[in-house]
Structure 1
Amino acid sequence: MLAQRPSFRFVAIGAVVSLFVLAFLVLGTSPRGLSSKFNIKTQSRPGPQTCVPPSNSTGWEFIVERDGNDHGLSEDQCRIAFPKLFAEIDKSSALKEDRRITYKELDSRAADDGMVRAIIDRGQLYIVDYAPMPVTASRARATLNSLHRALAAFPNRDNLPSIEFTFTTEDFAEDTQSASPIWAYSKRDLDTSVWLMPDFGYWAWPEVQIGPYHEVRRHIAAIDDGETTPDGNFTPGLEFQDKKKQLVWRGSLATNPPVRSKLLKSALGRSWASVRVIDWDDETDLRYNLLPIEDHCRYMFVAHTEGRSFSGRGKYLLNCRSVMVSHALEWREAHHAALVSSGPDANYVEVDREWSDLAKKIDYLIDNPEVAERIANNAVRTFRDRYLTPAAESCYWRQLIRQYAASCDFDPVLFSTGRDGRTHARATPYDTWILMH
């Protein structure tokens, strides 16, 4: 009997271990992959939280030459580098503190023209539905490419929360279904269901002949800071005080006649104005009047006007060592929390929506070139070298995912069980989808 006790002990231990393993398999495995109950929450989520920059105990700091194109910064690095970047996400999160987004609310908005419905699961992107619209077709691909890049570059992408969401490639989201969440490029205060996302131009904007964002930034930097030629010689940049002492604007009146026509009226006959209307359907007009976006930076002053909602040119202009002059804005973009219009840290100049004080402010800046140069340098430090870097864009995408997830009371599922008892995929992996569109 004594000789048999050790064997009995091992059998007993094995039984206990087996029970632990069985319990883990039963309780620790989420049914999310096969569940068809889309609005059932399968894991706990923290409530919406604002992005408070962590204490910088590591001593790490953002250096644009090293980090500006790094799409894989950690969450702490993103918060240290871009403390103002997530203000709009925080606002949307705060609106959901008392009542989180349900699957029914998400599902109540059908994917209409220019909309994409997608899932992020364990850091992987999937497309549920896509309603193409010819005018914005490239926008959908550009936006998804940027989002996919932000996911792929993140070392811990599988630890990102899983979400299901819809975004629009239109200039703005119709907010008639106030309870239905949607991601969009711009929003107003009254658009409470809209979550701001980076716009398509961070990838490219071929419709207006603007190439990849990183290339545009390189061309702008070459104009302002100079560049080394292939033969090893350095070509110096254009000094601010040597720029054309004019306000430049090229665009169509059709997208916002009330605001843009008043800019033309205020600039009419002024020696400091280089303001021209462009007809995008007239090849001759484009040949003579279209100005490459980087060449705007050769002017001391660059005008920014809203279109149907936001204007995609704004972020390019803020990359210039020039003074951006803008009317008071109604539509917000992801980087707007970093805009400062007065004081020693001013990085742009604001005029009223009627442009009635434009002449007075331009005359003042021309007469006080040191003030104008300070504003232009502030714009470079704030935007080109920080909030409008490719690194900042990817940081924004991932924080949007985190805080949107915390505001939802459901988890997405990639598969559903049909009446035939078979499992069906609800979405197409992005890697496959992009090859078909």
Structure 2
Amino acid sequence: MIGPRSQSPTFRYLGAGAVLSLISLTFLLFGRPSYLGSEWNSGPYLLKDSSSGSPVRSEKCAGAEPGAGPTNGGATENSTWEFNVHRDGNNHGLSESQCLSAFPKLFVELERTAEFWAANDGIAYKDVDDVARGGGVDGNGNGLVGAAIKDGELYILDYGPQPYTFTRGKATLHSLHRALSAYPDRHTLPDIEFVLTTDDFSTPTSTGNRQSPIWSYTKRPDAPDTGIWLMPDFGYWAWPEVAQVGEYKDVRRRISTIDEGLPFSAKKKQLLWRGSVAANPEIRNGLLEAARGKTWGSLKEVKWDDDQQANLMPIEDHCTYAFLAHTEGRSYSGRGKYLLNCRSVLISHKPHWLEAHHAALIPSGLDANYVQVERDWSDLERKVEFLLDNPAAAERIAENAARTFRDRYLTPAAESCYWRYLVNMYGGVSGFVPVLEGKGKGRGVKFESWVLGV
């Protein structure tokens, strides 16, 4: 279980006195005994007003219903604006209309998840509380983070022990905080309470037939994961545990330096892979076997318990190869976003695990931006040989990949747009708002203080 929680004020649209009168007249109060004490005027949340037939939202966020993009009352509306990676790629504060214009495929899974929850009576406080009390890497809350957003500010409620993911939680929260603080109209975002997991995938506990609204780096496309909310992974901030990866913007800079000085025609015409087989022996051993003895293969295992790590290669050096193999690990593999930043051809098996950017992947046709093979790699040799025999087609796929991902869907700007869309979609189907203030200490610590340990 995660430990006791904490948070901040109530409805953004109401003053404190109005909130108290509404509590006594129109709102049902719920709460677990552990949250109800003499220091509290109410429980840890308030039900939203359901008289309108839909969750209460700020009038500036009213457009953020399932299937529709969030709207930004303060956005600079300019019908001639087009996303330019050199000008806008690192802009974490794009307006909501700019986000929708620049990244139309980025939010597909969020809309699908919102539609699921809208059709299942929305997210209740009990759904979130059940996740907080019964999940985690080991079933004891390890790897879980409980948090809330109030008036566009991030509050930390619970931070379960992170014995295996000790940098992931902080990296993820830093990224979310950056997306919020860079946004001029953050006060228009809905007030929400949520739980995220820093594990490779979510292992939530569910009650009855209810699914889990946990935030996760990855999910499977169907039940039991339909209700899970995809979030950007920790690597968009930094990945210090893996040698020579580091901070995301710096990785992009190093990759860009390689690709600017190396035309596709000059890249090594081999399929490159470096990784740990142990993370997914069936898939990764299958790849090694499919390429064994092939002159077009450069595939080597990295053993993390080997102090020398002889086969380890800096991530940017992957971009010197024309063809890059990508495999899933325990679930998704965080390496994929780095490889898609290269102007190379990504070759990957059919996925079982989704990431936020996957809706932009195109496996065939003139707009193909990667090559998909069977999960047993049975067609790998045929497709690699086709690419070798058709260099123009291979280069077109590589250019499509760079234009789609490096220059658009995997930019820092896209990541922050995604975070805010997640907040809007989640808030649109959440049937309650968290209460953070009460007599005494209240619930939650603002991120700026929490991250300093004060």
Show the counterpart of 1:233: none
Indicate conservation of the 8 Å contact 1:175/1:194, yes or no: no
**Residues 53 and 243 of structure 1, relative CA distance in 2, 3 Å threshold:** farther
SS in 1 for 2:117: coil
The 5 Å alignment of 1:24-423 reads: 27=18, 35-36=42-43, 38-41=45-48, 44-45=56-57, 48-51=65-68, 58-98=79-119, 99-109=121-131, 110=133, 112-177=141-206, 178-188=210-220, 189-190=222-223, 191-209=225-243, 210-225=245-260, 237-284=261-308, 286=309, 288-416=310-438, 422-423=439-440
In 2: Cα distance, 1:192 partner to 1:24 partner: 37
More helix by share: 1
SS state of the match for residue 415, structure 1? coil
Give the equivalent residue in structure 1 for 2:5: none
- Cα distance change of structure 1 residues 164 and 24 upon mapping to structure 2, 3 Å threshold: closer
Q: Determine the C-alpha separation between the residues in 1 that align with 2:423 and 2:205.
A: 24
SS at match of 2:109: helix
Q: 1:352 to 1:282 in 2, by over 3 A?
A: same
- State the partner residue of 1:16: none
- Tell me how far apart the structure 2 counterparts of residues 135 and 124 of structure 1 sit (CA, whole Å): 28
Distance in 2 (alpha carbons) for counterparts of 1:130 and 1:143: 12
- Per mean C-alpha deviation after superposition, the further-off stretch among 34-43 and 258-267 is 34-43
Say whether the 8 Å CA contact 1:347–1:375 is kept in structure 2.
yes
Distance 1:140 1:79 in 2: 27
Aligned residue pairs total: 396
The equivalent residue for 1:430 is 447
Deviates more, 1:39-48 or 1:24-33: 24-33
Q: Is the 8 A contact 2:130 2:205 kept in 1?
A: no
The Cα shift of 1:180 comes to 2.9
In structure 1, runs of 5+ residues without a counterpart are: 1-22, 226-236, 417-421
Going from structure 1 to structure 2, the CA distance change for 1:75 and 1:257 (only over 3 Å counts) comes to same
Secondary structure in 2 matching 1:96: helix
Residue-by-residue CA offset, 1:51-80 (whole Å, 9 max, x unaligned): 3599x8621110111000000000000000
Displacement after TM superposition at 1:24 (Å): 8.6
| Counterpart contact for 1:53–1:80, Cα < 8 Å | no
Q: Kindly provide the amino acid, as one letter, of the partner of residue 366 in structure 1.
A: L
Amino acid at match of 1:283: D
Code of the residue aligned with 1:309 in structure 2: it is S
Q: Is the 8 A contact 1:71 1:395 kept in 2?
A: yes
- After superposition, what is the alpha-carbon deviation per residue over 1:158-209, rounded to whole angstroms, capped at 9, x for unaligned? 1111110000000000144143310000000220221000000001111112
State whether residues 51 and 79 of structure 1, in contact with CA within 8 Å, keep that contact through their aligned partners in structure 2. no
Aligned partners of 1:330 and 1:130: how far apart in 2?
29
Q: CA deviation at 1:29?
A: 8.4
Amino acid at match of 2:312: L
Residue 413 of structure 1 and its aligned partner are, at CA, apart by: 1.3
Q: Distance in 2 between matches of 1:58 and 1:243?
A: 40
Contact 1:142 1:203 survives alignment (8 Å) = yes
TM-score where L is the length of structure 1? 0.87
**Following TM superposition, by how much is the alpha carbon of 1:431 offset from its aligned partner in structure 2, in angstroms?**
0.8
Post-superposition offset of 1:36: 2.2
**Would the alpha carbon gap of residues 24 and 347 (structure 1) be closer, same or farther in structure 2, given more than 3 Å must change?**
closer
Aligned to 1:424, the other structure's residue is in SS state coil
- SS of residue matched to 1:425: coil
Tell me the amino acid that sits aligned with residue 160 of structure 1: L
**Identical columns (%):** 55
User: Which whole-Å CA distance do the structure 2 matches of 1:311 and 1:34 have between them?
Assistant: 46
The CA distance in 1 between the partners of 2:211 and 2:437, in whole Å, is 25
Report the RMSD for the aligned CA atoms in angstroms. Answer: 2.1
SS at match of 2:106: coil
**Partner of 2:142: helix, strand, or coil?**
coil
Q: Which amino acid aligns with 2:80?
A: G
Higher-Rg structure is 1
Could you tell me whether the CA contact under 8 Å between 2:44 and 2:436 is conserved in 1?
no
Greater shift in the superposed pair: 29-38 or 370-379: 29-38
CA contact (8 A) 2:218 2:355 kept: yes
Amino acid at match of 2:47: I
1:133–1:101 CA distance, 2 compared to 1 (3 A) = same
Deviations 1:125-144, CA, capped at 9 Å, x for gaps: 11000112222010001000
Q: Secondary structure at the match of 1:404?
A: helix
Kept in 1: contact 2:146–2:194 (CA 8 A) = yes
1:246 aligned partner, one-letter code: Q
Deviation readout 1:90-149 (Å, 9 max, x if unpaired) = 010000123111001111122611010001111111100011222201000100010000
